[in-house]
Copies of this chain bind each other. A is one copy, B any other.
Amino acid sequence: MDKLDVLLEKILEAVEGKKLTVPLGISNRHIHLKQEDTEILFGKGYELNKLKDLSQKGQFAAKEVVTVCGPKSVIEKVRILGPARKETQVEVSISDCLKLGIKGKVKMSGDICETPGITLVGPKGTVVLSKGIIVSQRHIHMDEKDAKRFGVSNGEIVSIKIDGIRGGQYDNTCIRVDKNFTLECHLDTEEANALGVDSSSKVRIIKK
C-alpha cells in the first residue's frame, strides 16, 4: 500500500469508528487432495508433511508437489495444500488453463460440478481426474463477528475496491462465513497483479 492508501484507510476508520478493510491473501496454483488420491500419488498410508501454516485455521501448505498434465503441456511442482478434503480439487489461473490446454471454469472452491478433468503425476503414481480443475471465484473468508461488523451474510455477493495506479473494483466477490474463518479476501495471482496489489494490501467491501 502506498502512503495515500494508508491515509485513506485511517480517515475511513476515524469517520466510521471501526476498521473497514479486509487483508488480502493471494493464491498461487495449488491442489487439495482426498486421502485416496494422496496415497495413489505418494504411496499407501502416506500422510502429507507440513511446510507451513496458512492463515485459515488448520490449513497448511504441504512439502509435497506434483506435476499437473494437460492435453497441451504440463506444469511442474504444483503445491499440495492440507489437510485432506472429500474431493480432489486443482485451483489454477486462466493463464495456467491456456498453458495446459483446457477451458478454465470460474467456480467457488468446493464446487467442481461440470469442471474439466486433468492428470496429476506424483512420485508413486498417477491420478486421472474426470473433473476437478477450477479457476477459483474470488471470495472473502470471515467469522460471524466480522460478518456483523461488515453487515454482510454468508453467500452474499459484494464488490471489492482498491486504489492506486492499477486501482479498480472486482464484482461478484462471495462472502463466506464460518466460525473458524480468519478475515481474508482471496484473489489469484492474476487478479492481484491486475490491481497492482500484494499480500500486504487491503481491500474495501462495497455492498451492492
Q: Which residues of A pack against B, CB within 8 Å? A: 93-95, 106, 137-138, 159, 163, 165-172, 188-191, 193-196
- The answer to whether B168 and A94 touch across the interface, beta carbons within 8 angstroms, is no
Across the interface, A168 reaches (CB within 8 A) one of B106, B137, B170, B190, namely: B170
Given contacts A168-B159, A172-B167, contact A190 B194 (CB under 8 A): yes
Q: A95-B189, A189-B95 are in contact. Are A106 and B196 (CB under 8 A)?
A: yes
A168 to chain B, nearest CB (A): 4
A50 to chain B, nearest CB (A): 25
Copies of this chain, complex-wide, total 2
Q: Which chain B residue lies CB-closest to A138? A: B166
A94: which of B106, B159, B170, B193 is its contact (CB, 8 Å)? B193
If A95-B189, A190-B193 touch, whether A165 touches B172 (CB-CB below 8 Å) is yes
Residues from chain B with Cβ under 8 Å of A137 in the complex:
165
Q: Min CB distance, A204 to chain B, in Å?
A: 13
Q: Can you list 27 A-B contacts with CB-CB less than 8 angstroms, sorted by A residue number?
A: A94-B193, A95-B95, A95-B189, A95-B193, A106-B165, A106-B166, A106-B196, A137-B165, A138-B166, A159-B168, A163-B171, A166-B170, A167-B170, A167-B171, A168-B168, A168-B169, A168-B170, A168-B172, A169-B171, A170-B194, A188-B194, A190-B190, A190-B193, A190-B194, A191-B194, A194-B194, A194-B195
Contact indicator B106/A193 (Cβ below 8 Å): no
